[in-house]
Amino acid sequence: DFAPRVPVKETKADRLQQIAAAAVEIEKPDEDDITTWKIRMKDPSPKVDVLMEILGDGGYLTGPGPGVAVAAVHKDLIRLVSDRLAAAEVRHGIITGDQSTAERDLALARFQDGHDRVLLFTVAAGSVGLDMTAADLLVNIQRPWSMVKAVQTEGRVHRIGSEIHQSVRIIDVVTEGTIEE
């Protein structure tokens, strides 16, 4: 087998990041091999709770105004946020690896033209080449371990075109007492 394997150390950090974000269900095909574990995030999620407070306090859940981009490493967390926004009747778009190019482009266009106030995206699917300058706020509910990916993610909102805003803010939501610190 010549398939590249993710080092166990990186896999452990990734799993701990998932556990720091929400309640989880863990399936362990091989109890002793963490690389085989499948983790599904579910409510409750303190990260989603904090995000909803940020959005509410900033006026992003009601009325017109600039948008907010929300980034996460894991699409399970994006799903949890989307469910919470849908329950609050907040129009939002999603960019993960699950959409076609046309669906991704439509979500981005709806966000950029102000139809959707919130754009959720995974770092892997949305960190390179996309213009999210309609946002004056980026909330990282999970930061990638890679500094390059983190800088690319910030570059979606803080780039040429973002000068339409007085400022662009970036908030990292970090779970205290976990590997994220």
pTM over 0.95: no
Of 51, 56, 83, 53, give the one whose Cα is nearest residue 69.
51
Q: Is 25 helix (H, G, I), strand (E, B) or coil?
A: strand
Q: Are 62 and 40 in contact (CB under 8 A)?
A: no
Of 150, 109, 149, give the one whose Cα is nearest residue 133.
109
Identity of the residue numbered 129? G
Q: What is the pLDDT of residue 127?
A: 66
Q: What is the pLDDT of residue 9?
A: 72
Which residue positions in the chain have pLDDT lower than 70?
1-8, 127
Q: What is the pLDDT of residue 7?
A: 62
Question: Which pair of structure tokens corresponds to residue 120?
Answer: 């959720």
Angle value at C-alpha 14, between 17 and 43, nearest 5 degrees: 45
Q: What is the pLDDT of residue 5?
A: 56
